[in-house]
Each structure stands twice: as C-alpha cells, then as structure tokens.
C-alpha cells in the first residue's frame, strides 16, 4: 500500500535518483506516482501546491508534508529505511559520496540548461554561446568521472547513483555527444552499473 506520493516526470534524472534509492531501500511499492507537467516556463499548479518552486521530484508524505529536492528525498528514504549504505556514516566515505552526488547533480544541471536552450526557448532567441558553455561543464564533469571511474562501486552510495543517472541522462537526451567513445573508463563502469535491477527499473522514457 502506497504511503507516499511522488510528483514526477518520466524523463527527469532527478526523479530517477529518487526511484533508484526507493528500489534499493525496498520502498518503491510504497510510492504512488502523481502525474505532473514540470516545465522551466509553464508553472504546473499541481506541483506548486506542494512545492513553491514547482519542480520535480516532490515527495508528499502520508501526513501531507512535502519534501524536495532529490538530495533531500533520497536522504529521507535512506533514513526511514535505516540504510547506511547510500549515505555512509564513516566520514571519509560520506564526504566522497556527497561530492560525487554534487558532481553528478552539477553535470545534470548543465545538461538540462543546454536542453532547455534548444527545446524551451524560441529558435530566434537561442544563444549558442550559452549552450556551448553548458556543454563545456558537461565535458568537465565527464573528465572528472573518468578520473575516478576505477574506484566507483557497484554496491552504490548516493554518489554512484547520481553519477549513473547523469550518464544515463546523457545517453537518453544527448546521444550525439557519444561520450563513451571519449571516456572509456567511465563507459566501462556505467555499462555494468546500468544493469543493476534498480537502474533497469527506472529507465527514463518520454511520456
């Protein structure tokens, strides 16, 4: 029986982060998915009623309290489940996991801004320099992931989950980048990581 509700978009990598954590902590079947139309310009009142920023993911608890964004929701799910793997207690491992999460989230922020420039802004107003600058950040993020790929685990913390969702989003929305051809160690890790059941159960798709 669902005890939580999630305002979501099926293409959102940040929603995917949440659902991967839900699967890994055994809570996926406790979450009811609520349709929404998150958009950088058109505000969806269904989301805004629970999140003043009108962004997904937004989690609604059984007492009506709302949690947002993905970082908060993922840590909440781990806390409720008593999970110490996703957010390690050991200081060194915890800071590493949180830094990896920040890296993956930052890469995704840049990728989403680039996509919005091409899909949400009228063609006559698009700014090529802005778009290219976001992709520079994406490439810098990929370079950093490549440098640490050999140390990434398959028994994931929130760090690996976020990096896996980030790389999966590039596959989904930016296939023309062909990033695996230029970052072979990251591609090798991701090729195995994406086969985990929690990753397979949360593949992004167009509505």
pLDDT in tens, 136-154: 999 999 999 999 999 999 9
In a domain, 86, yes or no: no
Co-location of 131 and 73 in the same domain: no
Residue 1: which pLDDT band, with cuts at 50, 70 and 90?
Answer: low
In a domain, 205, yes or no: no
- Tell which of 63, 81, 99 closes a domain: 81
- Among candidates 109, 100, 120, 108, which has minimal Cα distance to 170? 108
Residue 12: which pLDDT band, with cuts at 50, 70 and 90?
Answer: very high
* Tally of domains within the chain: 2
C-alpha pair distances (Å), 137 with each of 47, 91, 104, 174 = 29, 28, 11, 14
The percent of residues above 70 in pLDDT, for the chain, comes to: 99
Q: What is the arithmetic mean of pLDDT over 55-59?
A: 97
Identify the burial level of 140 via C-beta atoms within 10 angstroms of its C-beta, where 0-12 means exposed, 13-18 middle and 19 or more buried: middle
Co-location of 112 and 75 in the same domain: no
Q: What is the arithmetic mean of pLDDT over 24-36?
A: 95
């Amino acid at each position: 029986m669902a005890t939580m509700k999630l305002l979501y978009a099926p293409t959102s990598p940040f929603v995917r982060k949440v659902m991967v954590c839900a699967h890994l902590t055994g809570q996926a079947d406790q979450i009811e998915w609520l349709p929404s139309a998150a958009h950088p310009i058109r505000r969806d009142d269904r989301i805004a009623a629970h999140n003043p920023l009108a962004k997904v993911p937004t989690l609604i608890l059984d007492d009506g309290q709302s949690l947002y964004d993905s970082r908060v929701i993922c840590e909440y799910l781990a806390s409720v489940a008593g999970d110490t793997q996703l957010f390690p207690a050991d200081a060194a491992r915890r800071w590493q996991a949180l830094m990896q999460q920040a890296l993956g989230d930052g890469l995704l922020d840049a990728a989403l801004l680039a996509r919005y420039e091409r899909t949400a802004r009228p063609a006559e107003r698009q700014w090529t320099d802005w778009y290219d600058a976001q992709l520079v950040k994406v490439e810098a993020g990929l370079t950093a992931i490549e440098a640490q790929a050999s140390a990434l685990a398959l028994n994931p913390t929130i760090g690996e989950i976020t990096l896996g969702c980030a790389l999966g989003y590039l596959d989904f929305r930016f296939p023309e980048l062909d990033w695996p051809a230029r970052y072979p160690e990251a591609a090798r890790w991701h090729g195995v990581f994406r086969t985990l059941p929690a990753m397979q159960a949360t593949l992004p798709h167009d509505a």
